[in-house]
Chains A and B, each alone.
Chain A
Amino acid sequence: DGGITQSPKYLFRKEGQNVTLSCEQNLNHDAMYWYRQDPGQGLRLIYYSQIVNDFQKGDIAEGYSVSREKKESFPLTVTSAQKNPTAFYLCASTPTAYNEQFFGPGTRLTVL
Chain B
Amino acid sequence: QQPVQSPQAVILREGEDAVINCSSSKALYSVHWYRQKHGEAPVFLMILLKGGEQKGHEKISASFNEKKQQSSLYLTASQLSYSGTYFCGTGTLGYGGATNKLIFGTGTLLAVQP
Contact = CB atoms under 8 A, between A and B. Distances in A.
Contacts of B44: 100-102
Interface in B39-79: 39-44, 47, 49, 55
B2 interface: yes
A48 B94 CA distance: 15
Interface residues of B, number: 28
Contacts of A105: 40-41
A101 to B, nearest CB: 7
Given A43-B87, A97-B29, A99-B47, A104 B100 contact: no
B65 to A, nearest CB: 19
Given A97-B98, A97-B99, A100-B55, A43 B30 contact: no
A42 B104 contact: yes
Given A41-B106, A42-B106, A101-B89, A96 B40 contact: no
B42 A43 contact: yes
B42 A44 contact: no
Mostly, the B contact residues are strand
Contact of A98 (B40, B98, B103, B106): B98
B87 A48 contact: no
A45 interface: yes
A78 interface: no
Interface residues of A, number: 28
B4 to A, nearest CB: 11
B71 to A, nearest CB: 14
A45 B102 contact: yes
Nearest to B5: A42
Contacts of B104: 35, 42-45
A68 to B, nearest CB: 13
A96 B91 CA distance: 12
A105 B107 CA distance: 19
Contact of A97 (B1, B42, B97, B106): B97
A45 B32 contact: no
Nearest to A6: B41
Interface of B: 1-2, 29-30, 32, 39-44, 47, 49, 55, 87, 89, 91, 97-107
